[in-house]
Structure 1
Amino acid sequence: MAAAATPTYSHILFHVDGRIAYVTMNRPEKRNALSVAHMQELIACFRAIGEDRTIAAVILRGNGPAFCAGHDLNELVGRTPDFYRYVFDVCTTLMETIQSIPQPVIAQVHGMATAAGCQLVATCDLAVASEDARFATPGVKIGLFCSTPMVAVSRNLPRKKVMEMLLTGEPISAQEALRYGLVNRVVPREALEAETRALAEKIAAASPFVVGLGKQAFYRQLEMPQPQAYAYAREVMSFNALAADAQEGICAFLEKRPPRWGGYAQGPDRSGEA
């Protein structure tokens, strides 16, 4: 996504700094509520990032007082069943796209992350939260149970805690989110941007080929029975071991020098084959 080719969005901002992409939800007056148009722009942006081999990691954040307030409720009044299915199909596509691109996506969370906003945090590969962040699935309070957010949140937090959040709609603090595994770290608000960037830079220092391969393998094995997961992981790791970056990394470690990564576009290193 070279500068000249960067698309113009109405609901998000996008820019690249070094090898880190920033996707900023930009509906501050709506607390970055996810309208259909907003979600479609996020999908398009993440798909384009997935095709850009110069980008190593992505930071997803929100402008204004909140990270994301969930679905735009103005779109959910007096519509047809087909429209409601469409809204939640688009939302599902957004979440699946975030996890399908090779680059890790880090949520940079401040303020409230509620309903589909909490789902976004749970869906991202990593999350850094400021001390003021709060997380909730409050749909039950307005008669719309957070069923689709439940899918992502229940894959991050213990069952009883998720049920408490879903059944009461009450928020949890950033420290609770850390304790229960929804976020990776909690930092002071003034350090949020720098700490998230530092985490992204650590990822960007690794082989992008290996990171992408590993992210894909992680999500594929997650729901497999253990024997099937090991069988799948064995094949992935065997393929990985043949790759040029794996051989380079091993040799660099043994030779006590920094590795020189080859990038995304590589398969197994067959240079030694007859």
Structure 2
Amino acid sequence: MNSSDGELLVERREAVLWLTLNRPERRNALTDAVLLQMAHVVREAGTDPSLRAIVLTGAGEQAFCAGADLTPGDTPFQSDPARLTLPLADLARAVHGCHVPLVGRINGVCMAGGMGLFGLCDLAVAADHARFGLPEVRIGLFPMQVLTMLRDLIPPRRLNEMCMTGRPIDAPTALSLGLLNRVVPAAELDAAVDMLLDDLLAASPIALRRGKYAMRAVQGMGFHQMVAFTESNIGAMIQTRDAREGLAAFNERRRPSWVGC
């Protein structure tokens, strides 16, 4: 699964898969090829029971992702009637079907389509110089697809303002809105991400996967449907080997040894 060159770097670090947008000279702008490759990698990752987390970041220190590459050529704005899904939508579907926790390492500017990637992450840590924005209206567009990834993340009036004015927000503001888990100086970004990964790796793999699935599944459910769904799922989780191991470890005052099932 590793790929050490090209526009998307894929690196397996023990139980964590790192995906790095590798176009720093273009502020890690997105192309069709990169989005399609990401979707493929995420789908593969979702089938690997030994994988515990995925980290998404950008190369360099200036940009996480500035959105779509607007130069002529391989851009996500090309219209092809023969293609039923756009690459960003394909990636969103892949992430939605992947129950591995996805961590965003936001190392700089995060704009437009980059906000879509950010919205797909379950957890996110940002450098304090990062900025977040949806400037599409300033070039005659609107963040249509990105809305689906941000609707439940950003408070409605602030989302309206970002979409309708194109005005960006800084990292402290994003943190205050609940969009980020932590904001740290750039020099401390890797340490903050590692700390978050340590917490994920200390948790039961099957609990995280089933939990992420459940959190996605209950979205849009009515109250009674949600209660019935969660009731049946906790009953199933109690039967897992990890649940038995976790309870035994708690009572024996030791660290659990997870098996992931």
TM-score band by shorter chain is over 0.9
Q: CA deviation at 1:94?
A: 0.7
Q: CA deviation at 1:7?
A: 5.1
d(CA) in 2 for partners of 1:105, 1:55:
11
Q: Please tell me whether residue 73 in structure 1 is matched to residue 56 in structure 2.
A: no
Structure 2 partner of 1:202: 199
User: What is the aligned counterpart of 1:54 among 46, 50, 68?
Assistant: 50
User: What is the aligned counterpart of 1:181 among 175, 178, 182?
Assistant: 178
4+ residue stretches of structure 1 with deviation over 6 A? none
Q: Please tell me whether residue 250 in structure 1 is matched to residue 247 in structure 2.
A: yes
C-alpha deviations, 1:27-63, integer Å up to 9, x for none?
Answer: 1122111110010111111122222222211111000
Structure 2 partner of 1:220: 217
SS at match of 2:81: helix
CA RMSD of aligned residues (A): 1.9
d(CA) in 2 for partners of 1:132, 1:179:
15
SS at match of 1:14: strand
d(CA) in 1 for partners of 2:243, 2:235:
10
Q: Structure 1 residues 82 and 205, CA, compared in 2 at 3 Å: closer, same or farther?
A: same
d(CA) in 2 for partners of 1:37, 1:76:
9
d(CA) in 1 for partners of 2:35, 2:67:
11
Structure 2 partner of 1:128: 125
Q: CA deviation at 1:246?
A: 0.6
SS at match of 2:228: helix
C-alpha deviations, 1:124-182, integer Å up to 9, x for none?
Answer: 11100110000001100000111111121121011000000000001001011111121
Contact 1:57 1:200 in 2 (8 A): yes
Structure 2 partner of 1:98: 95
C-alpha deviations, 1:191-237, integer Å up to 9, x for none?
Answer: 11111111012101111111111111111112212221111111111
C-alpha deviations, 1:76-97, integer Å up to 9, x for none?
Answer: 59954627x75x6221121222
User: What is the aligned counterpart of 1:109 among 102, 106, 109?
Assistant: 106
Which range is displaced more, 146-155 or 94-103? 94-103
Contact 1:121 1:182 in 2 (8 A): no
Structure 2 partner of 1:169: 166
User: What is the aligned counterpart of 1:23 among 19, 32, 36?
Assistant: 19
Q: Structure 1 residues 236 and 199, CA, compared in 2 at 3 Å: closer, same or farther?
A: same
User: What is the aligned counterpart of 1:148 among 145, 150, 154?
Assistant: 145
Contact 1:22 1:60 in 2 (8 A): yes
Percent of pairs with identical residues: 34
C-alpha deviations, 1:68-118, integer Å up to 9, x for none?
Answer: 0111223459954627x75x6221121222232121010000211111101
SS at match of 1:32: coil
| Count of residues in correspondence between the two structures | 258
> What stretches of structure 1 of length at least 5 have no aligned partner?
267-274
